[in-house]
Amino acid sequence: MKSTAARQGTLRELNLGLVLREVLDAAATHAPSPSRADVAAATGLTRATVSTLVDRLVAGGLLAECEPVATQRAGRPAVPLVPAGGTLVALGAEVNVDYLGVRALDLAGHVLAERVVEDDHRDSDPARVLRALAAVADDVLAETVGDPVAATAGEPVAPGGPRRVVGTALALPGLVARDAGTLLLAPNLGWREVDVAGVLADASEVFSAHPPTLANEADLAARAEARAQRREGAASFVYVSGEIGIGAALVLEGRVFGGRHGWAGELGHTLVADGRPLEQVAGQDAMVRAAGLEREAGVASLVAALAAGAPAAHEAVRAAGEALGAALANVVNTVDVSDVVLGGTYARLAEHLVEPVLAALRTHVLAAPWAPPTVGVARVGDIPALTGAALSVLDLVIADPSAWLDAPGAAAALPRLAP
């Protein structure tokens, strides 16, 4: 919390964000679209105040009004409010060990377009991979807008036409310097000190117009998971992302906690009981190898072996779960968040992992008797970091809505959408 003077504009900005978030959250959780009165009731603001704020947001092209819908009850029918789907686009990208991809989201959080390319990036050439990503990004954006150049010009337009790009974010399996746009270290890619933003800017129109914010893959995946879980209120949990590496991210009251530099949650390099880093015990490759399978066979073969009842596979996963649980117990003891969510590869193995992880938590977490640990499975869909990256971009809009308002009047002519 920055302690800076609160002028009157701060007030408006705060409440504008509050109203916007209310509508966006409803859309994200598939709750019925709220009316002005609903928002007023939920926020504690007056109907009058909400009305002026909503009017501003609608005029600015961030919200849209649907046709009033009959509600069976007495009273004037409410006008449902929805995020304006037509204007803003956020681009989330990811480079991971065995794939890269880009996903485009609108303000409502709906996927406008996406593309994922599978490839092996172990010890790859950063420039080559990043140029491939840049091409994919331009493609994906082209699917959502007629002309990427016109789209960045900031002209308000009708739905279906070109859109305004809010920004871009990139998920990477390693340590990043988020401000400098540099990847510091990604052991599983074999990358070190790469000027990611620079390379992307040279290779892509989108990334040069909108320099990407870099972040850890697990953090962004957790951002997406937090949204998926928001259905039942802002949750706190430790998200474990089991890809080739092992990343973790803390979600506190629905917000991802990245730490001072965004490097929090480096779980893979935690030392476990035998002195080895966790990744070498419970990582994807380690499990596959321990199960007596070829590394190239991947997780799919492990899943198959488990289904077939192969004892070595079961033992491998159980041992991995035990080590993971012990490492997570330290995390839980450190940050006092007792719910664990398994994501990535671990989600596919959850059936066999939950029990050993939970057992380890129960025995090693000091507070377990009073806040029983839980182990759940991620709800968010495939490649959550793509969604999380785009959501992290959209957070900018929510944090400072008035910066993204179109010139008033232009959007007033927009036709009403169907509910």
By the rule CB under 8 A, 271 interacts with a copy of itself:
yes
Sequence-separated contacts (24+) of 62-67 with Cβ below 8 Å: 62/20, 62/87, 62/88, 62/107, 62/397, 62/401, 62/404, 62/405, 63/20, 63/23, 64/414, 64/416, 64/417, 65/416, 65/417, 66/33, 66/416, 66/417, 66/418, 66/419, 67/416, 67/417, 67/418, 67/419
Q: Binder to DNA among 29, 31, 48, 190 (CB under 7 A)?
A: 48
Residue 23's CB is within 10 A of a number of other CB atoms, namely 25
Q: Binder to DNA among 77, 190, 311, 408 (CB under 7 A)?
A: 77
The residue among 356, 358, 267, 266 whose CA lies nearest residue 320 is 356
Q: Map residues 331-370 to x or -, x wherever contact with a copy of itself holds by CB under 8 A.
A: x-xxxxxx-------------------------x-xx-xx
What does the angle CA 160 – CA 90 – CA 419 come to, to the nearest 5 degrees?
50
What does the angle CA 55 – CA 5 – CA 408 come to, to the nearest 5 degrees?
20
Q: Binder to a copy of itself among 8, 160, 232, 233 (CB under 8 A)?
A: 8
By the rule CB under 8 A, 53 interacts with a copy of itself:
no
Percentages of the chain per state (helix, strand, coil), in multiples of 5: 45, 20, 35
By the rule CB under 8 A, 158 interacts with a copy of itself:
no
- When CB distances are held under 5 to 8 angstroms depending on the partner's kind, the choice from DNA, a copy of itself, none that residue 271 binds is a copy of itself
DSSP letters along 103-143, please? EEEETT--EEEEEEEE---TT--HHHHHHHHHHHHHHHHHH
- Taking contact as CB under 8 A, which single stretch among the options 71-79, 91-99, 328-336, 376-384 is the one that binds a copy of itself? 328-336
Helix ranges, 204-256 (H)? 205-209, 217-229
Rounded to the nearest 10 degrees, the angle between the axes of helix 8-28 and helix 36-43 is 110
Number of residues located near DNA, criterion CB under 7 A: 34
Q: Map residues 162-191 to x or -, x wherever contact with a copy of itself holds by CB under 8 A.
A: -------------x-x------xx------
Q: Binder to DNA among 17, 21, 42, 49 (CB under 7 A)?
A: 49
Nearer to a copy of itself, 369 or 415 (CB): 369
Hey, which residues does 171 pair with through a beta bridge? Answer: 94, 215
Hey, which residues does 220 pair with through a beta bridge? Answer: none
Residue 271's CB is within 10 A of a number of other CB atoms, namely 11
- When CB distances are held under 5 to 8 angstroms depending on the partner's kind, the choice from a copy of itself, DNA, none that residue 390 binds is none
State in angstroms the smallest separation of the CB of 261 from a copy of itself. 6
- Taking contact as CB under 7 A, which single stretch among the options 34-42, 89-97, 260-268, 378-386 is the one that binds DNA? 34-42
State in angstroms the smallest separation of the CB of 167 from DNA. 25
Nearer to DNA, 64 or 281 (CB): 64
- Residues numbered 208 to 247 that lie near a copy of itself (CB under 8 A) are 236
DSSP letters along 175-208, please? EEETTTTEEEEETTTTEEEE-HHHHHHHH-HHHH
User: What is the b/e burial string over 246-268, where b = at least 16 CB atoms within 10 angstroms of the residue's CB?
Assistant: bbbbbbbebebbbeeebbbbbbb
**Residue 363, SS3 per DSSP:** helix
By the rule CB under 8 A, 259 interacts with a copy of itself:
yes
- When CB distances are held under 5 to 8 angstroms depending on the partner's kind, the choice from a copy of itself, DNA, none that residue 344 binds is none
The length of the chain is 419
- H/E element holding 291? none
By the rule CB under 7 A, 70 interacts with DNA:
yes
By the rule CB under 8 A, 417 interacts with a copy of itself:
no
Q: Binder to DNA among 17, 21, 55, 362 (CB under 7 A)?
A: 55
Q: Binder to a copy of itself among 31, 127, 273, 300 (CB under 8 A)?
A: 273
Please name the amino acid found at residue 91.
L
State in angstroms the smallest separation of the CB of 27 from DNA. 16
- Taking contact as CB under 8 A, which single stretch among the options 39-47, 104-112, 222-230, 384-392 is the one that binds a copy of itself? 39-47
- When CB distances are held under 5 to 8 angstroms depending on the partner's kind, the choice from DNA, a copy of itself, none that residue 48 binds is DNA
Helix ranges, 336-381 (H)? 345-348, 350-364
Nearer to a copy of itself, 152 or 236 (CB): 236
Chain residues in the site for a copy of itself (CB under 8 A): 1, 3-6, 8, 10-11, 14-15, 18, 21, 43-45, 175, 177, 184-185, 236, 248, 250, 252, 257-267, 269-271, 273-275, 326, 329-331, 333-338, 364, 366-367, 369-371
Chain residues in the site for DNA (CB under 7 A): 5-9, 11-12, 15-16, 35-38, 44-49, 51-55, 68, 70, 72-79
